[in-house]
Amino acid sequence: MKPLVIVPMGRALPALDALATARAGDRFEVRREPLLPTPAALDAERPTVVLLDRTLFQSAGEDAAAVSRLAEQAAVVAVGEPGATEPDEALPAEALSGFFAADRADAPARVTLQGALRHAAALVAAHRASRLEERSTADLQEMTRIGVALSTERDLMTLLDTILVQARRLSSADAGSLYLVRHQGGGAPDVLQFKLAQNFTLPNLPFRETEMALDHTSLAGYAAATNEPLVIPDVYLLPEDVSYKQNRSFDESVGYRTKSMLVIPMRTHRDEVIGVLQLINRKRDPAARLTSPAVVDAEVLPFDQRAVDLVNALASQAAVAIENSRLYEDIERLFEGFVMASVTAIESRDPTTSGHSARVATFTCGLAEAIDRGGSGGAYRGLRFSREQMREIRYASLLHDFGKVGVREQVLVKQKKLYPSDLAIIKHRFQFLLQRADLQYERERAEFLYAHGTDRYTEALGQLDQARRGEREQLQRFLDSIVRANEPTILPEGTFEELEEINARTFVDFDGVEKPLLSDEELRYLMINKGNLDSRERREIESHVTHTFRFLEHIPWTSELRGIPTIAYGHHEKLNGQGYPRQVTADAIPVQTRMMTISDIYDALTATDRPYKRAVPAERAIEILEDEAAHGAIDKSLLATFVEARVFELVKRQPTPTAGLRLS
């Protein structure tokens, strides 16, 4: 672009004419203006010299600041009146690059003009350098921002979408695709997975994940196989000698025209290609839609070096982010496997509670999601849980009972108030007494016959039968009472006078020793008025919470999951301080734990998969929970959300025969 020299309208300048003649006249353009130009009126990319005389200065209101601003973009040379030896005093001397009198045509005047032209060229170069620096700084800041965004995203598909969006934005590409390398192993060749496509002009195109060979036949395959980018001005004009071809079937099927293309391999820090970015149709106007071949011809440009450099830098960041995302997924799978193996270990010790941990996790996560959606308002209005917090809640729920591995199996699987062996002993005792009653009957009948013969035998036999029948009926009644008392109960119920009566009765054992019909130890177990555990056994069962906490505390959780031990620790605590094992109150119980407590109690009340358990209907279970809330034991607001959002319906129950219940 030729330099421009702006001359005051009507001013004759012999020095300029002489310089034009010396430079063959076509080395710069002369334009005569009546007014002092503003910087905005000039082309910053064109070297410009402004010859400033008194008339132009006056046209700007003799504003020295205006001249100074103009001098930042153009070389300003003062032109004095004929015979003048120095510039007008009103002109800002610091803004001038030279001076000559209007009537001068000698060498010094021409040298001044040539120096001004060189100064104008230097200003343009400085402007370009400044713009380049600004753009480089902006690019660096943008790449830093993108890098931060990529490094914080954990979900792979969201990450891939972000990568492609940013690559298209940085390069002004209308469309793009993203491929990932999949290593098949076992000697099979690697393949490219077509994971994502975007198209600004056609945003609603259907997409289906496919696979393609990782070889030189396709553009993406070539870039991945050679680890080299492809910059193609027009994919319809590829040379005949290249191995890769553009598949035009897509363009033909949707009415699109693919023209310029940039295909960049995504490389890790180990120079391993893990994917390919394919960008299509760089546009002059990023907002333009390529709706026709004419628009494509007018708008689409080849990808320039800046676009190549920026997308290359982004591709490197993207490769690291993808690798980190996959590593994070591997860690998540490892955690998931560990957690599920732990749950299996819990349930292998107590098969009768199989599924309890998973159901509690389902209920608790469902309640958290309901709270996240707004719940029933109240104290938790505005509370939100992140994806990581939801994982933390789920893992804590799945592992909340892991400490049961530290509880004696005999206590853990206890189904009734008496252990099976103890009940068997009592039944054998009663069987012995029944047989003894029969034996006593036969002895007394024989003794009567021996002493009295058949005289009044029928009458005596009737009395003996009645006595034996009474004894057998009483023993059976006692045994039935024991069996009934052996069943656990949900709430305290019943009195134990009959058991005490049984305990007061005695019998003589095989060794001739007189003993109570029901021992004090047996009586103590049968008189448990709630559940099936005595105080010592209950303390042992309750210790599972502390075992859980100590076990979980030793696991090196990530920062996002470090709350798991604390959340699980309090699932049997009550807001009023009447829970266990620490008897802490509301302030020390996290909201995640409060949710788990509701879920745990509800599942314990309604679970139908345990032979010793009498399941209660959902309505009754909720009534019990509401009673607990009314007494300040559990969180009333969370329970309201649990009920209103019908979280309890997340697990479908199958009816089973009823029995007793142990709450643990």
Q: What is the pLDDT of residues 588-606, one digit of tens each?
A: 999 999 999 999 999 989 8
Asked if the model's pLDDT at residue 299 lies above 90, the reply is yes
CA angle 357, 359, 361 (to 5 degrees): 70
Give me the pLDDT at residue 654, please.
Answer: 55
CATH superfamily placement of domain 350-410+537-650? Hypothetical protein af1432 (1.10.3210.10)
Residue 146 — very low, low, confident or very high, per pLDDT cuts 50/70/90?
confident
Burial, 260: exposed, middle or buried (Cβ in 10 Å; 0-12, 13-18, 19+)? buried
> In whole angstroms, how far apart are CA 116 and each of 30, 49, 74, 231?
14, 6, 9, 42
CA angle 66, 133, 317 (to 5 degrees): 150
Strands (E), 239-288: 261-267, 273-283
Q: Which long-range contacts link 517-524 to residues 24+ away (Cβ below 8 Å)?
A: 517/429, 517/433, 517/478, 518/426, 518/482, 522/418, 522/422, 522/426, 523/499
Q: What is the enclosing helix (H) or strand (E) of 16?
A: helix 14-22
CB 351 within 8 A of CB 391: no
Asked if the model's pLDDT at residue 645 lies above 80, the reply is yes
Pick from 130-134, 192-196, 247-251, 648-652: least confident = 130-134
Domain boundaries, the chain: 4-129, 153-327, 350-410+537-650, 420-531
Among the listed residues 259, 349, 245, the one whose alpha carbon sits nearest the alpha carbon of residue 295: 259
Q: Strands 506-508, 514-516: parallel, antiparallel or unpaired by DSSP?
A: antiparallel
CB 78 within 8 A of CB 91: yes
Number of helical (H) and strand (E) elements in the chain, helices listed first = 21, 14
Higher pLDDT, 538 or 367: 367
As a whole number, mean pLDDT of residues 178-190 equals 85
- CATH no., domain 4-129: 3.40.50
Pick from 315-329, 351-365, 644-658: least confident = 644-658
As a whole number, mean pLDDT of residues 204-220 equals 91
Give me the pLDDT at residue 115, please.
Answer: 93
As a whole number, mean pLDDT of residues 350-357 equals 80
Give me the pLDDT at residue 77, please.
Answer: 95
Burial, 284: exposed, middle or buried (Cβ in 10 Å; 0-12, 13-18, 19+)? exposed
Pick from 355-364, 435-444, 532-541, 609-618: least confident = 609-618
CB 83 within 8 A of CB 101: yes
Residue 479: strand pairing partners: none
Instruction: Determine the Cα–Cα distance for residues 122 and 138; give it in Å rounded to an integer.
Output: 24
Give me the pLDDT at residue 26, please.
Answer: 63
Residue 433: strand pairing partners: none
Backbone angles phi, psi at 576, to 5 degrees: -90, 10
Pick from 63-77, 511-525, 587-601, 635-649: least confident = 511-525
Asked if the model's pLDDT at residue 307 lies above 70, the reply is yes
The full DSSP string for 181-237 is EE---TTPPPEEEEEEEEESSSTT-----EEEESSTTSHHHHHHHHT--EEES-GGG
Asked if the model's pLDDT at residue 387 lies above 90, the reply is no
pTM over 0.75: no
Q: What is the enclosing helix (H) or strand (E) of 178?
A: strand 173-182
Show the tokens assigned to 556.
């090196």
Residue 326, CA atoms < 13 Å, CB-side half-sphere: 12
As a whole number, mean pLDDT of residues 497-512 equals 86
Show the tokens assigned to 102.
């209007």
Q: Which residue has the tokens 């990568």?
A: 163
Give me the pLDDT at residue 659, please.
Answer: 37
Show the tokens assigned to 117.
């032209």
Instruction: Determine the Cα–Cα distance for residues 116 and 97; give it in Å rounded to an integer.
Output: 6
Domain 153-327 class, CATH top level = alpha beta
Asked if the model's pLDDT at residue 664 lies above 70, the reply is no
Asked if the model's pLDDT at residue 608 lies above 80, the reply is no
Please tell me if the domain spanning 4-129 has the same topology as the one spanning 350-410+537-650.
Answer: no
Show the tokens assigned to 540.
């042992």
Give me the pLDDT at residue 658, please.
Answer: 38
- Please report, as a single letter, which amino acid is at residue 394: R
Residue 104 — very low, low, confident or very high, per pLDDT cuts 50/70/90?
very high
> In whole angstroms, how far apart are CA 253 and each of 125, 210, 249, 525, 646?
48, 17, 6, 80, 48
Give me the pLDDT at residue 492, please.
Answer: 61
Give me the pLDDT at residue 342, please.
Answer: 85
Give me the pLDDT at residue 656, please.
Answer: 43
Gyration radius (Cα) of the chain, Å: 46
Residue 647: strand pairing partners: none
Asked if the model's pLDDT at residue 609 lies above 60, the reply is no
Q: Mean pLDDT score of the chain, rounded to an integer?
A: 88
Asked if the model's pLDDT at residue 562 lies above 90, the reply is yes
Residue 613 — very low, low, confident or very high, per pLDDT cuts 50/70/90?
low
Share of the chain above pLDDT 90, in %: 49
Give me the pLDDT at residue 96, please.
Answer: 94
Give me the pLDDT at residue 573, please.
Answer: 96
Higher pLDDT, 109 or 541: 109
As a whole number, mean pLDDT of residues 235-254 equals 89
Asked if the model's pLDDT at residue 315 lies above 50, the reply is yes
Q: Strands 48-52, 75-80: parallel, antiparallel or unpaired by DSSP?
A: parallel
